[in-house]
Amino acid sequence: MQIKTGHIFALYAFDVGYEIDLQKTSQILKTELARKLSKRKIAPTYLQYQTPPLTIALGEYSFQITQIPMKAEVAAKVFDFGAISITYKIPFSSFLSDLNRYSTALLYDVNLGIEANKFLEELFLKIKPAIKKPAVSEIVEDYFIFQITEFEREITAENLRRDYKVDIARALSFELGDISADEINESLKNPVSYYNNDLVITDWNVAFVYDRDYEDTVDVLEFLNVELVELRFNDSLLDKRLIELYDKLYESRRYFTYLFNPYDRTIHVISEIKIEVSALFEKIDNTIKLIGDIYLAKVYNLTSDRFHFDKWEKGIEKKLAAIESIYVILNNRLATIRAETLEGIIIILIAVEIVLGLARG
């Protein structure tokens, strides 16, 4: 099956700080806010970003995939919760059976990730004054989308899944060789279609999108990739903070005195962690609303399952619970310290009173 027109999207998500002032960023770069999600497939008017990110054109980048010259439009999307997504939009035409060659080359051979880091570094230096707590994380999430606008002939989504399931599954699995029937079924499970001639199938690191009206679907998948990098970043951050807290608790025990509160700084750090992580998740949850648009909501929910969002979120919740327990333990210890200190003061005052009474006698 010949692919007449389509695009390959290579997405790279980064965490660059706690918060980004989009208005200040816009002033620095003199660019406009990104378009809101269009009203796609009878979507309600509230299907849009609550806080629209900034989209910045970064120019063109030329490279090769399997010795075929390619030219990509590169853009950055800046989110107010401290994330930036670098996107390559690559026009292509090929055979459906060649998609697996493209997918494996993108993952293993082409250095788009390295170039994405370069684009990010240049942008980061420009907008750094607009970033609160600026720091580029080492954690990067990539995601690839094969978007097909038109085949050589019209084909329904049902026939595409039935007749070309092996080609699609191999591309989604980054596999050049033969794959089992079970793997094919696993890759193609839970497809999403709105009309007879559109199809979306997503996997953990790549998606297949057959649709002329594809922009909103790509936006949702890009946002999911950004959300994943934020989950991974916060999970890693909590790991580091827990180790630091345990070390501080150990040091605090050694320098314990009744007159000195050894836990003040630790409790302050714990409070900051809880506020920062909670505020970040609140911002992410409120960034985009898909309630009411069944099509995009299905794409979002099925892909988030592929990303194992539930496991990442449970892991973060457990670490926050561990931090909360440390917070409770420290407060209990402080209450004990205060009670013991007061008791000591009372005993000293009584002793002084007795001594003064005896001296007067």
- Coil, helix or strand at residue 300: helix
**Residue 349 pLDDT:** 86
DSSP letter (8 states) at residue 170: H
What pLDDT, on the 0 to 100 scale, is given for residue 305? 86
pLDDT in tens, 168-220: 888 888 777 777 888 888 878 888 888 888 889 988 889 999 988 888 889 88
Q: Which residue has the higher pLDDT, 190 or 50?
A: 190
pLDDT at 64: 84
Note the helical H segments in 157-203. 157-163, 165-172, 181-187
The residues, any chain, with a CB within 8 Å of residue 204's CB and separated by 6 or more, are 306, 307
For 76-123, give the DSSP string. EEEETTTEEEEEEEEEEEEEGGGHHHHHHHHHHT--HHHHHHHHHHHH
142: helix, strand or coil: strand
103, 143, 204, 353 from 221: Cα distances, Å: 17, 8, 11, 75
* pLDDT on residue 76: 92
The pLDDT of residue 255 is: 46
pTM (2 d.p.): 0.82
Q: Is the pLDDT of residue 37 over 60?
A: no
Q: Are 292 and 37 in contact (CB under 8 A)?
A: no
- 313 three-state secondary structure: helix
User: If you average pLDDT over residues 332-353, what whole number do you get?
Assistant: 80
Judged by average pLDDT, the poorest of 67-71, 183-187, 230-234, 260-264 is 260-264
What backbone torsions phi and psi does residue 73 show, to the nearest 5 degrees?
A: -85, 125
Tell me which of 3-7, 50-54, 97-101, 254-258 is least confident. 254-258
What pLDDT, on a 0 to 100 scale, did the predictor assign at position 83?
Answer: 92
Q: Considering Cα of 13, then 280, then 317, then 267, what sign does the dihedral take?
A: positive
Asked whether the CA dihedral 16, 105, 88, 157 is positive or negative, the reply is negative
Q: What pLDDT score was predicted for residue 238?
A: 81
Between 237 and 149, name the one with better pLDDT: 149
pLDDT over 80 (residue 125): yes
- Please check the confidence at residue 87 and state whether its pLDDT lies above 90: yes
pLDDT more than 90, % of the chain: 18
What pLDDT was estimated at residue 242? 77
**Res. 73: pLDDT tops 50:** yes
Question: Is pLDDT of 149 > 80?
Answer: yes
Instruction: Choose the weakest-confidence range: 5-9, 30-34, 44-48.
Output: 44-48
Is residue 235 within 8 Å of residue 319, measured between CB atoms? yes
Condensed to tens digits (0 to 9), the pLDDT of residues 289-317 reads 665 567 888 888 888 888 888 888 888 87
pLDDT tens-digit readout, 241-282: 777 777 666 655 544 444 455 666 666 667 777 777 777 667
What confidence score (pLDDT) does residue 258 get? 47
Mean pLDDT, the chain, rounded, equals 81
Which residue bears the tokens 């998740």?
Answer: 281
**Two structure tokens written together for 242:** 């827990």
- Looking at residue 145, its pLDDT comes to 93
Length of the chain: 361
CA 234, distance to chain mean position in Å, is 9
